[in-house]
Structure 1
Amino acid sequence: MNSAIRESPQEKSYVYQLFLAMRFTMEEINRHHDLLPNHTLGFQIYDSCRVLQWELDGTLKILTGQNQGIPNFSCREKPPLAAIIGHSTSTYSILMAHILGLCRYPQISIISTSSLLSDRTQFPSFFRTVPSDAFQSQGLARLVLYFGWTWVGLVALGNDYGQQGIQVIKEEILKAGACVAFTEFILLSRLDKNAPHLIRVIRESTAKVVLVFSTDFDMIPLLDGMLRQNVTGKIFVASEAWSISNVLTVEKYSALLSGCIGFAFYSSKLAGFREYLNSGRLFNNTGEIWAKKFWEETFECKFLDQRNISDSLDNPTKVCTGNEKLGSIQNSYNDVSSLRTSNNIYTAISIIATALHDLQTCQEGRGPFHNGSCADIQNFKPWQLLHYIQNVRVRLSNGREVFFDRNGDLPAVYDIVNWQLGADGMMRQVTVGSYDTAASDGNTFNINAREISNQTDSIDCFKCPWDMWPRLQKDRCIPKTIEFLSYEEPLGATLAAASLFSSMIPVSIFGLLIHYKTTPIVRANNYTLSCLLLGSLSLCFLCALAFIGYPQPEKCLLRQAAFGVVFAFCVSCILAKTFMVVFAFMATKPGSSLRKWTSPRVSYVIILFCSFLQFLMCISWLVLSPPFQENNIQTKPGVIIAECNEGSPTAFWCMLGYLSLLATISFTVAFLARQLPDSFNEAKFITFSMLAFLSVWVSYIPASLSARGKYTVAMEVFAILSSSWALVVCMFVPKCFIILFRPEMNSRGCLMGKATG
């Protein structure tokens, strides 16, 4: 395994940590025999020193296997080259990927983020353990919109990285209905980086938020110019290239960058890594020169050797012994609180090792290659390992599962960091949330914003109580809005009025049937069952009132159970009517033994039995997992949703499922009996009523799952009223129409089909 690591003079400690992260991961894999048993991973490192020509030369040396890079030539002996990790800079990675792609050598970058590298036609063997800038741009746009910033200025590097990234951000912001105040570029070709023009635009713009898609070093002229001209009062949003910069977290920039928020690479902890860094195992054949340079800079000393012994006698510089304790220092070398690039290295090597393990454990005849063949781990081809890397799935030690999509990208995960001023006057980047495009619950953004300070320029903030929320100025807590379906609001008042009005309709029809109970149409359609059905329908309409208003504990406990039992009684009445229609017709045949089934007692037994099953189910629900009132603060930031937790979602859906079962049985029987003679037949009306009833509740399922807060309750109230109206209209409106407006049809002769005209 080979790697190209960028060495920055300003960040030697950080870079050396990356080197040791590679060694740590290799040793961990070689120490555990469950992965690649009887095989040892090794590595070589080429330092390009950020020189493009050296990068090309190093890449060719890797492929050649010699100390001289020769194009299209390889005399590499065993063990075979597995994969290449690098480069850190996208421009260099693109150069490497063009060359390595010709030979199908797997290449995994730990920092390169350019979206161009996702093009599989140009870079067929390129992978990376950092998200593409395309994901970052979409996420930054959503971050801006999350905080309600609708008037935003955009600044980006004037190269491919900046232009492509800022274009996606601009499109996403405009698509969401927000506005862009300006779009300007840092021009790398100019000595001043276009800073004077940028400062003038930022100062004169009314936009308070400036999103900068740049690197930290390229921002320095802009920030220095803003300090000189005292351009303050702007909120900066940072891309990952400078969101955790050590260069910019100096005291002089605190007036500009305090409060900045942005994206950073996902951070994680590596168990045992800090102890490994502080163990002092630095001097061996690999990286000895780097180790000495790091040691001298860290402990401000010099090693004695034959070349500088005379200088050391004249120069009183402290002499390095090699026994200094790394645990006594605290810098970027042994800071493992937020491992980002080191975590990317750990992920890359784990992926390669797992792919090699999959290649090794392939069973001949069941392999992925021609005729089910497998690759030989002692002598495999680059394109063979490439297949396994493309399809690998690795569960890391932190529990996160990683895999590549068809473009060689992992699921995008970022930390959201906030720049806060510490007690020592230095800024620190605090992780306040995350952006995960592959979140299992669909909640890609997770941001903690409920902190305030009641003192101007205070260093520390404190959290608001759970039922309060910081106001816009973040200087005091204000009560959160409590949301529920209230009688005072138009929606709740309308539904309540509809419920009360609707409950009077069955009562009115009941009075009409009493007045005309001796007429043929009322007597022919089972007067007693009709009265029971109308009473239950009136209660069904009134059930909706239990869902409106503040969800008190008693209301939460009983409202679903009451709704379930009342509706079960109502549908049971219709089911009994259905069977009575069928029994009455079949009993008219000579010698039929079904005459005894036409007794009113049979219909009462059906109603009581079907209702009792629902009653028993609801009692079990209330005893084993009763509903309760809760305050939901997760669904909407800054809003408390007062709602009823159903206790057991399974019990709720079983209750609805039982109602649907009764309605389906009634619909099926009525549909089969729809052609019976009209004198006995309510089957047509029952068929339509059950069809409408089922349609309402089937539509309720997706509607309730997509609604949030009070609108979920409103959906159920609407379903209750709609399904009850469906039963009233289909079962009783035709009868009432005949009774009131066509009395000539309300005769025995007409019902028996003997009327004329």
Structure 2
Amino acid sequence: MVQNNMMKTIPPSSDQMLWAVRKNQSSTNAADSEIDSYAIHWFNLAPDRGGGRKERSRIKEALTEVSYASAQPLLSDKLQFPSFLRTVYNANYEVFALAQLVKHFNWTWVGIISSDSDLGRSGNQLLTQEIEKNGGCIAFHETLPIVSSMASVFRIVDVVKKSRATAIIVYCTIENLISLMEEASLHNITDKVWLGGTSWTISSDFPRKDILITLNGSLGLAAQNGKIPGFKDFLYSIRPSISDDLLTKTFWENAFHCVWPANETFPALPEDNIVWCTGEESLDSIDPNIYDVYNFRFTYKVHNAVFAVAHALHQMKNCVPGKGPFKNGSCADIYNHRPWQLLYYIKNVDFNNTAGERIFFDANGDVPLNVDILNWQLFPNGSNGYVSIGSFDAAAPRGQEIKIQHNKILWNSGHSQMPVSVCSDPCPRGHRRATLQGEKICCFDCLPCSEGEILNPRDDSECIKCPEDKWPDSTKEKCLPKPIQFLSYDEILGSSLACISVLFCLFTFSVFCLFVVKRKTPIVKANNRELSYLLLISLMFGFLCSLAFIGRPNLITCMIRQVMFAVIFSVCISVILAKTITVVMIFSATNPDSKLKKLVGLRIPIYIVPVCTMVQIILCIIWLTSAAPFAEFNMAAELGKIVIECNEGSKVLFSCVLGYMGVLAAISLLVAFLARKLPDTFNETKFITFSMLVFASVWVTFIPAYLSTKGKQTVAVEIFAILSSSAGLLVCIFFPKCYIILLHPEMNSKQYITGRNVRYRGT
């Protein structure tokens, strides 16, 4: 029949379909005209057209083979129904469309209500399988008994109210649904989205308006709305004078609120109150909701069935003897064929209908699923309608079967936006799903991914570790390359240490210049002026060597900086040792009882510096040639960062280099400490003792600090130790001399240095 959104209209008779076919006969293509003729002939032979009894019987057999409305899944069983074909899809196919619709809206927590019938049970089983295959879960499944049971209805409504599921699939007929919807409307359940198939979604049989309010915003499937060329014009051209059909006159009276003069059954009314029908009323003035000439759903299926038979007859007629599909290449006689012969041709038709849609039957005699998706909308004036918001085409490429226009959807008053139907809210970024024991997979807890892990893009229930050279972003969704870290001149710490190093170097250079200018004064000449120059130069290089520790490490800088540091500080300590021994030997030369007096003439201090330094140089050469330092990427030093640092190569040789400096420092400290009380007015061994105590304290403190830091802070600690120890030597040894040279020049005399000026002894 003609599909109507709101009210049922007159069914298309054979005359109507015949007229539409004739209107389509304007094609100039001979084959198309012949097919149209077969379609007309088929209608002319229909029982109500009065054709020959034999031909009517044969066509009647053909009619039983092609159905336009029977969607019962069992009819696809070719063992039981070998000659049954249909232009409407198998009802079980709706399950796939409903499951895809649920998936499209990301509804993972879905309730199912099905009727207690074979169709309902099989539909429920298929729905459950498809929804779970798509990653969803069934919140509940309730069965509506075929015989109305209010106890079951009350129980189901209570389950629906308490469930977190917003999307409810109702897989049943309108007869089962009415009592359930009446009870749901009494409980004002408007926060659910009801989904259904063609069995009830386009029905106008609900008796109460509050049911329409409950169903407002629902989604449903309907047979595809097709176009039949010329059929709308025919429906508008119908006149009672053309068709002497009682249904036409009855429709005319209901549509135009008039009465036919010859209608004797109409109640007697005052003649002034009667509007008489003239038969000239215009059908195109009727509301399309009442007389719908746009939506042809099952009528379209009839149209396809007619042309399927017509194409089969056309192929049968064009069969070439000897090349036919039957035994020995024979063909069927189109005027005297058997039903099974026509069935063969109908099964194998494959053509495009007048709307351009491809028509064919699969092995089960079914057509592919192609349905419209409708949205049940309640309008402010109290009327309601089914608005097409999309379609589902099973023949479309994978992933493109469903198409929906979201801007056309109107949800129920309980939802201003697209509803959400989930058991657990989606996990925030960087969190994985943790299944709750005893619950379905859609009910879960959210746990953050561990450090260095991101959420698996293919499985949101697990986290995966980033590669060693990468680290998660802030949302833990992807791995980004780790930032490379080293102590650079561009950052505050690196630039500050570099400035301090340069400033101390300049300060040392100024002291050196002062000593050069005052080189002939007693206080400069005391304790070997040349050793003082050498010590100041070594300290300048000591301050500058810390610059080699700043910047991006490479093979050259890693080899140079530790060796430079070791050699320079070995020179400094050996100079201090030489100065200390010089003081001791000078005192011994003035003491006739000293056993060291014999060594004064050997000039031992001159050999101390080169010998001690050469030992360190030899150790460094062995270190560089056997296992030299090199730059490496440390992935584990700091979380989320790659630290470029110098690997010292051989830890044993590196320890020997540092240990040798420690031995020199210990000897210098011991000698200076033993000579600290020598009876001299300006006893430099006291200042050397203080300087070596500072030096030792800095490097003893450096060891735990160095071991407890990571990354660029380790390098900063080492630079700080170099600067601190160098500054300690500079201040403790040279500050007293600079103080006398600049502020008390009267003390810079031979008498004061030798202690012969009594006046200065008390200072």
Per the normalisation by structure 1, the TM-score is 0.50
* Aligned ranges 1:319-468 → 2 under 5 Å: 319-332=276-289, 334-440=291-397, 443-449=400-406
**Residue in 2 that maps onto 1:210:** 168
**Residue in 2 that maps onto 1:110:** 68
Q: Take 2:202 and 2:412, find their aligned partners in 1: how far apart are those partners?
A: 25
Q: Take 2:351 and 2:63, find their aligned partners in 1: how far apart are those partners?
A: 20
Q: Take 1:329 and 1:346, find their aligned partners in 2: how far apart are those partners?
A: 25
Q: Take 1:12 and 1:261, find their aligned partners in 2: how far apart are those partners?
A: 21
Q: Deviations over 1:264-308 (max 9, x none)?
A: 2111333332221111245557x7222222222222333333855
| CA deviation after TM superposition for structure 1 residue 18, in Å | 7.4
**Residue in 1 that maps onto 2:231:** 273
From 88, 95, 119, the counterpart of 1:137: 95
Amino acid of the structure 1 residue aligned with 2:17: M
| CA deviation after TM superposition for structure 1 residue 229, in Å | 2.5
Alpha carbons 1:235, 1:260 under 8 Å: kept? yes
* Aligned ranges 1:201-280 → 2 under 5 Å: 201-248=159-206, 251-280=209-238
Alpha carbons 1:421, 1:459 under 8 Å: kept? no
| CA deviation after TM superposition for structure 1 residue 419, in Å | 2.2
- 1:190 matches 2:148: yes
Amino acid of the structure 2 residue aligned with 1:124: P
Secondary structure of 2:406's partner?
coil
Alpha carbons 2:24, 2:230 under 8 Å: kept? no
- 1:27 matches 2:18: no
| CA deviation after TM superposition for structure 1 residue 77, in Å | 2.7
Secondary structure of 1:43's partner?
helix
Label 1:446 to 1:258 Cα distance change in 2 as closer, same or farther (>3 A): same
* Aligned ranges 1:582-597 → 2 under 5 Å: none
Alpha carbons 1:261, 1:419 under 8 Å: kept? yes
**Higher relative contact order, structure no. (Cα contacts within 8 Å, ≥ 6 residues apart):** 2
Label 1:379 to 1:282 Cα distance change in 2 as closer, same or farther (>3 A): farther
From 167, 170, 181, the counterpart of 2:125: 167
**Residue in 1 that maps onto 2:106:** 148
- 1:122 matches 2:74: no
Alpha carbons 1:303, 1:319 under 8 Å: kept? yes
Amino acid of the structure 2 residue aligned with 1:289: L
Amino acid of the structure 1 residue aligned with 2:139: A
| CA deviation after TM superposition for structure 1 residue 436, in Å | 1.0
| CA deviation after TM superposition for structure 1 residue 128, in Å | 1.4
Amino acid of the structure 2 residue aligned with 1:437: A
Label 1:228 to 1:294 Cα distance change in 2 as closer, same or farther (>3 A): same
**Residue in 2 that maps onto 1:304:** 261
| CA deviation after TM superposition for structure 1 residue 323, in Å | 1.9
Amino acid of the structure 2 residue aligned with 1:390: K
Alpha carbons 2:259, 2:275 under 8 Å: kept? yes
- 1:81 matches 2:58: yes
Q: Which moved more, 1:310-319 or 1:372-381?
A: 310-319
**Residue in 2 that maps onto 1:543:** none
Amino acid of the structure 1 residue aligned with 2:69: I
Q: Take 2:238 and 2:170, find their aligned partners in 1: how far apart are those partners?
A: 40
Amino acid of the structure 2 residue aligned with 1:224: E
**Residue in 1 that maps onto 2:742:** none
| CA deviation after TM superposition for structure 1 residue 363, in Å | 1.7
| CA deviation after TM superposition for structure 1 residue 380, in Å | 1.9
Alpha carbons 1:111, 1:341 under 8 Å: kept? yes
Label 1:205 to 1:250 Cα distance change in 2 as closer, same or farther (>3 A): same
- 1:16 matches 2:4: no
| CA deviation after TM superposition for structure 1 residue 106, in Å | 4.7
Secondary structure of 2:310's partner?
helix
Alpha carbons 1:139, 1:435 under 8 Å: kept? yes
Alpha carbons 1:16, 1:333 under 8 Å: kept? no
Amino acid of the structure 1 residue aligned with 2:370: V
Secondary structure of 1:113's partner?
coil
Q: Take 2:202 and 2:79, find their aligned partners in 1: how far apart are those partners?
A: 33
Secondary structure of 1:275's partner?
helix
Label 1:257 to 1:492 Cα distance change in 2 as closer, same or farther (>3 A): closer
Alpha carbons 2:3, 2:299 under 8 Å: kept? no
Amino acid of the structure 2 residue aligned with 1:27: R
Label 1:112 to 1:456 Cα distance change in 2 as closer, same or farther (>3 A): closer
Secondary structure of 1:35's partner?
helix
Amino acid of the structure 2 residue aligned with 1:320: C
Query: Among the aligned pairs, what percent are the same residue?
Result: 30
| CA deviation after TM superposition for structure 1 residue 107, in Å | 2.2
Alpha carbons 2:24, 2:229 under 8 Å: kept? no
| CA deviation after TM superposition for structure 1 residue 177, in Å | 3.7
Amino acid of the structure 1 residue aligned with 2:314: H
Q: Take 1:441 and 1:169, find their aligned partners in 2: how far apart are those partners?
A: 19
Amino acid of the structure 1 residue aligned with 2:285: S
Label 1:488 to 1:283 Cα distance change in 2 as closer, same or farther (>3 A): farther
Label 1:299 to 1:237 Cα distance change in 2 as closer, same or farther (>3 A): same
Q: Which moved more, 1:309-318 or 1:175-184?
A: 309-318
| CA deviation after TM superposition for structure 1 residue 457, in Å | 5.2
| CA deviation after TM superposition for structure 1 residue 429, in Å | 2.0
Q: Take 2:155 and 2:189, find their aligned partners in 1: how far apart are those partners?
A: 13
| CA deviation after TM superposition for structure 1 residue 405, in Å | 0.1
Alpha carbons 1:278, 1:334 under 8 Å: kept? no
Aligned-CA RMSD value: 4.2
Q: Take 1:307 and 1:42, find their aligned partners in 2: how far apart are those partners?
A: 38
Alpha carbons 1:141, 1:173 under 8 Å: kept? yes
Q: Take 1:193 and 1:26, find their aligned partners in 2: how far apart are those partners?
A: 53
Q: Which moved more, 1:395-404 or 1:213-222?
A: 213-222
Amino acid of the structure 2 residue aligned with 1:205: S
Alpha carbons 2:168, 2:192 under 8 Å: kept? yes
Amino acid of the structure 2 residue aligned with 1:166: N
Amino acid of the structure 2 residue aligned with 1:327: D
Alpha carbons 2:217, 2:412 under 8 Å: kept? no
**Residue in 2 that maps onto 1:723:** none
| CA deviation after TM superposition for structure 1 residue 248, in Å | 4.6
| CA deviation after TM superposition for structure 1 residue 374, in Å | 1.6
Label 1:234 to 1:357 Cα distance change in 2 as closer, same or farther (>3 A): same
| CA deviation after TM superposition for structure 1 residue 118, in Å | 0.6
Q: Take 2:137 and 2:415, find their aligned partners in 1: how far apart are those partners?
A: 32
Alpha carbons 1:26, 1:42 under 8 Å: kept? no
Label 1:263 to 1:45 Cα distance change in 2 as closer, same or farther (>3 A): farther
Q: Take 2:13 and 2:126, find their aligned partners in 1: how far apart are those partners?
A: 31
Alpha carbons 2:7, 2:290 under 8 Å: kept? no
| CA deviation after TM superposition for structure 1 residue 409, in Å | 0.6
Alpha carbons 2:376, 2:385 under 8 Å: kept? yes
Q: Take 2:383 and 2:190, find their aligned partners in 1: how far apart are those partners?
A: 18
Label 1:187 to 1:457 Cα distance change in 2 as closer, same or farther (>3 A): closer
| CA deviation after TM superposition for structure 1 residue 240, in Å | 1.8
Label 1:389 to 1:339 Cα distance change in 2 as closer, same or farther (>3 A): same
**Residue in 1 that maps onto 2:488:** none
* Aligned ranges 1:716-731 → 2 under 5 Å: none
Label 1:439 to 1:259 Cα distance change in 2 as closer, same or farther (>3 A): same
Q: Take 2:234 and 2:151, find their aligned partners in 1: how far apart are those partners?
A: 42
Alpha carbons 2:216, 2:412 under 8 Å: kept? no
Q: Take 1:193 and 1:342, find their aligned partners in 2: how far apart are those partners?
A: 40
